[in-house]
Structure 1
């Protein structure tokens, strides 16, 4: 798993944002300024759709006021599903999305999880991270179902602690 102080790897991915969908690389998206990056097991899955993503949408202004330049959500889904999820959730424009259809970014970051037992294949582990200029600063993982350590309130607390 990627550690604090390590550079974000360069992996081809699809960026979905208010400007549309485009091919890019993970280091291009996550490599400038202070980025909050969070990963979810899947678009439209209950916890991701009802808890994790909404916490970042609701706190986007607070995160930006705390110095965050970009908020990025990654999911192991194709670009069409991720785009539809971004639109349906009202997050497009507040959050940028990375569609990691083949779990290549999840693998490169060491955040892939085998969820085959539940019929989901390889997915992202639920996580959140603070990345500054392409260097991992802090990473948070959930060790149980739900969203506690990786939700926007926890990231806001981490940002506040870092200022102290």
Structure 2
């Protein structure tokens, strides 16, 4: 079953890169007591993700945060090191990169995308959600191959 508006986010372990190596991030603690925009991409350095999705959130970060958002986070199934390299390449200083390399989050929320047979394996589907104190208040899930409802501009309209 796919997570929906009103659902509590699952408690899973995600990772982010630090100078000391990957740091475990407890999802329950990460989302507790604040408003977070979480968007997911199928993969770092992939065409739509690098040309449109992440850059949109980088460009609109100030506008999004001005709407009362405490943090903007990008989730992908790549490892934390790849996500940090991608963030550095895209100058994504205002976006927290969260690795779901084990697919714990996407499996628990039903937001996975199976690209097996295309050389990409199982990944996160492209989506964006607004989370307040660990509860989903809005979610937009893209159809495979689409980029319409999960953009920074679309999220801004819902804030």
TM-score (norm 1): 0.90
SS at match of 1:114: strand
TM-score by length of 2: 0.93
SS at match of 1:44: coil
Counterpart-to-counterpart distance in 2, 1:151 and 1:98: 18
Q: Which residue in the other structure is 1:140 paired with?
A: 140
Partner of 2:32: 31
Q: Take 2:81 and 2:108, find their aligned partners in 1: how far apart are those partners?
A: 22
Shift of 1:147: 2.0
Query: Is the Cα–Cα contact under 8 Å of residues 17 and 96 in structure 1 kept in the other structure?
Result: no
- Count of aligned positions: 158
Aligned to 2:123: 123
> Shift in Å at residue 18 of structure 1?
9.7
User: Structure 2: how far apart are the matches of 1:32 and 1:148?
Assistant: 29
Measure, in 1, the Cα distance between the counterparts of 2:88 and 2:42: 18
Q: Distance in 2 between matches of 1:107 and 1:28?
A: 19
RMSD between aligned residues: 1.8
Question: Contact 1:112–1:122 (CA<8 Å) still a contact in 2?
Answer: yes
**What corresponds to 1:162 in structure 2?**
none
